[in-house]
A and B are shown apart, each in its own frame.
Chain A
Amino acid sequence: MKNLIKSAVALLSLLVAFTSCNNSDQSGNKSGALAGNVAEKVYVAPGEHDEFYAFISGGFSGQLSVYGLPSGRLFKVIPVFSQDAEKAYGYNEETKPMLNTSHGFVPWDDSHHPDISQTNGVIDGRWVFINGNNTPRIAKIDLSTFETTEIIEVPNSAGNHSSSFVTENTEYVVAGTRFSVPIPQKDMPIKDYKGNFKGALSFISVDPEHGHMDIKFQLIMPGFDYDLSHPGRGKSHGWFFFSTYNTEEASTLMEVNASQNDKDFIAAVNWKKIEDYVNNGGGKMMPTKYAHNVYDESTHSATSTMKTEVLTVNPLDVPGAVYLMPTPKSPHGCDVDPSGEYIVGSGKLSANLTVHSFTKMLAAIENQSFAGDAYGIPIIDFEASLAGVVEQPGLGPLHTEFDGKGNAYTTFFISSEVVKWKLGTWEVIDRQPCFYSVGHLMIPGGNSQKPFGKYVVAMNKITKDRYLPTGPEVTQSAQLYDISGDKMELLLDFPTVGEPHYAAGCPADLIKPRSKKLFKLEENNHPYATKSEADTKVVRDGKTVHIYMTTIRSHFSPDNIEGIQVGDKVYFHITNLEQDYDVPHGVSIIGANTSELLIMPGQTETFLWEPKEVGVWPFYCTDFCSALHQEMQGYVRVSPTNSSTPLRWSLGEDIE
């Protein structure tokens, strides 16, 4: 009823708004979003589904958010690198190991560049990979459960930024360092950076069946900053391209000192060649320390393993594997078109876009058209690999994606716009303003051989006045453009979680049919699972107590427990016996120094409670589960340390 009134009011005010628009003189409004049918284009009727999924990085929230396109509706925030009290991620005993690193438990990171797994150069919708920037890590999210199932730390790396992009059969997910650092780390003067610091580019192999990640090798490059990267595809499959800045190798006042050179480089790495080299025993094993955390769906638990060595490769030991292509002015984006021929360098301080040709690059290598070398790595003559230049398309180019119809779309941060231009002729076709200061953009399938060129999402760095103000901190924001016609059309603004650095998208049909509805109870191999109420129990082991508890609409079993003592460590292992879609139960107890649990059907989760005071303490279900949800509650009696109250538990009858 309330909703009805609300929607009636909303409708009325909408009508009023439209009428007043018509009556007033607003010809000055040129946002381009006022065409009559724009609302229709983003409207997804109640109960209908969006056409695309968009996985948008959560930036400094450390997470990955899931949106529908074209509606811009937020469906889920998948916890990846940061603790999430709502889902108990990083709080319950099962997922704490996911956030383990060589620096100990790290509850936060800065998540940047999601990329969806591919088969034969086409997006397959199995996994999303995303990088943690600050304490370098790569995570894998399983798209059947929308849960983070693996995190691998990247040693010898710092500011894991030119990551996490996949090759065309997901052979590798690649993680390049932003900061160069001493490798191995050591105590040395910062001023001795030049020539001594190194940049590690890590090739992490992905098991084609399970997706398990393993660092195959690290290429130890000169001490530049490695900003972004993209895989070759089609004809350039087997190569990987990395943009660099600070080829000056400065360590201070970078705004000035890292902008001295007229050109930095795009590094072209023939990873197939290096793969052969290491498969034949090449490379040097180096002692180091990094965590590899794997979540097992059948035990609903993660384990963390500390690895102690990594295989490193000196590029000079593999002749013909690495080349540098000069690219003007601190390039950010380094984007490969669907055919694999063009590598677009977005020199962020340059007036032009520089496009390299893969074919010309190979010819230049063949003809030894080199202009010099950097620490022994050949530098290709700028003109030799140059395919073309997009002249003065805007200010501050950052990132380019492709529509699969021969067009490229580049974001311009300083002039705050998306510019559409044509591959091959390099002519600008259209430009649309962004509100405001766009960073990256995303076309579903844009980083593959087969983009779905219907929409582009622009992710903005500045929001300012676009929404109702919420104090000094305003929402982060993205914008959706229709790119199906010759001209782009702004359709929608929508708020995002954290800073939306980058995104990956794909048709919903690729993921929807594989999405899990529940976990089968019979397949639950959690060591503390309780698969039937008959098996519920409370077990004391010294000061540690394990409660094997179950939930079903709408009771806990047991719901009365006595014999717990002050100073005990009480583990609640709770199995949700439900086997129906969308019937999770939640739980917590008064004074627990951790988050609630949110337990999916068939799942077991554990939280720790350390009662500090004598009393009878309630616990209850935190996720509305049925008409009797409010009745879903219980008590734990806590007696003094060493009390003689026997350990007893019950459901439906009084204890004793």
Chain B
Amino acid sequence: MKTTIKILSTLLIVFLLSCGGKEKKKKESFSYDKKTTTEATTTTKAEKVPASKTIDLSNKGIGPITSLALNAEINKEMAAKGEDVFKKMCTACHRADKKFIGPAPKDILKRRTPEWVMNMILNPDEMTQKDPLARALLIEFNGSPMANQNLSEEDARAVLEYFRTL
């Protein structure tokens, strides 16, 4: 039941969003007028910053990591290991510096706390259900789920260190 509602609402929002985006690109071969139905939603959405650009440096997310202090200096060895893990486990959906299936991790720590990033890697199912930002991201990225790749905490920490080098 929950899933049905979720899927329905996701689809609805996706539908509304995509309608909003296309309304100016009117093709001659496509004469269906979508203006009236979408206007209200478009204006409210337009005022909002997308989740991927939202900056929230207090939210720690939901999951095993409750506090994490980063050294001022980047641990190069750990970052190298993190790059390796990222390549193996994450590149199916993420490119380091550009949007792919999911958002780019570049500059992620300018927008998120380290704890949030770790929890998103380690606990994506609960995050996308309960954390408002993670939820909004799921919707922004067309409902494409953040896959749980069962990384160890150590590997996730290394990936985070790698993100700092981007």
Contacts and interface: CB of A to CB of B under 8 A. Distances in A.
Interface string A570-607: 00000001111001000000000000000000000000
B87 A534 contact: yes
A521 interface: yes
A578 B147 contact: yes
Contacts of A533: 91-92
B150 interface: yes
A442 to B, nearest CB: 37
Contacts of B87: 532, 534
A1 B4 contact: yes
A557 B95 CA distance: 14
Given A1-B1, A580-B150, A627-B7, A557 B92 contact: yes
A577 B4 contact: no
Interface in A465-494: none
A550 interface: yes
B145 A627 contact: yes
A236 interface: no
Contacts of A3: 1
Nearest to B138: A627
A580 to B, nearest CB: 4
A528 B148 CA distance: 24
Interface residues of B, number: 21
A554 to B, nearest CB: 7
B143 A627 contact: yes
B143 A626 contact: yes
Nearest to A652: B100
A552 interface: yes
Given A532-B92, A533-B92, A579-B89, A555 B101 contact: yes
A73 B149 CA distance: 31
A514 B161 CA distance: 34
A534 B88 CA distance: 9
Nearest to B93: A552
A38 interface: no
Nearest to B147: A553
B147 A628 contact: no
A74 interface: no
Interface in A1-22: 1, 3-4
Contact of A626 (B1, B89, B145, B148): B145
B88 A626 contact: no
Given A534-B87, A626-B143, A627-B145, A518 B93 contact: no
B142 interface: yes
Nearest to B6: A627
B122 to A, nearest CB: 12
A553 B4 CA distance: 19
Interface in B15-72: none
A165 B143 CA distance: 51
Contacts of A518: 150
Q: Is the interface of B mostly helix, strand, loop or mixed?
A: loop
Choose among A1, A552, A626 the residue with the greatest number of B CB atoms under 10 Å from its CB.
Answer: A552
B150 to A, nearest CB: 4
Q: Is the interface of A mostly helix, strand, loop or mixed?
A: loop
A531 interface: yes
B149 A579 contact: yes
A4 B11 CA distance: 23
A466 to B, nearest CB: 33
Contacts of B7: 627
A557 B10 CA distance: 25
Contacts of A553: 93, 144-145, 147
A550 B144 contact: no
Nearest to A631: B142
A587 to B, nearest CB: 15
Contacts of B101: 555
A522 B85 CA distance: 11
Choose among A1, A534, A627 the residue with the greatest number of B CB atoms under 10 Å from its CB.
Answer: A627
Interface string A522-566: 100000000111100000000000000010111101000000000
Contact of B142 (A550, A580, A628): A628
Contacts of A583: 147
Contacts of B88: 521-522, 531-532
A627 B148 contact: no
A583 B147 CA distance: 9
B10 A627 contact: yes
B143 A580 contact: no
Nearest to B95: A652
A552 B150 CA distance: 14
Interface in B74-99: 87-89, 91-93
Given A533-B91, A579-B150, A626-B143, 20 more contacts: A1-B4, A3-B1, A4-B1, A521-B88, A522-B88, A531-B88, A532-B87, A532-B92, A533-B92, A550-B92, A553-B147, A557-B92, A577-B89, A578-B149, A580-B148, A580-B149, A626-B144, A627-B10, A627-B144, A628-B142
Interface of A: 1, 3-4, 518, 521-522, 531-534, 550, 552-555, 557, 577-580, 583, 626-628, 652
Interface of B: 1, 4, 7, 10-11, 87-89, 91-93, 100-101, 142-145, 147-150
Query: Which 8 pairs across A and B sit closest by C-beta, in order of nearness?
Result: A627-B143, A552-B92, A580-B148, A579-B150, A579-B149, A533-B92, A577-B92, A626-B145
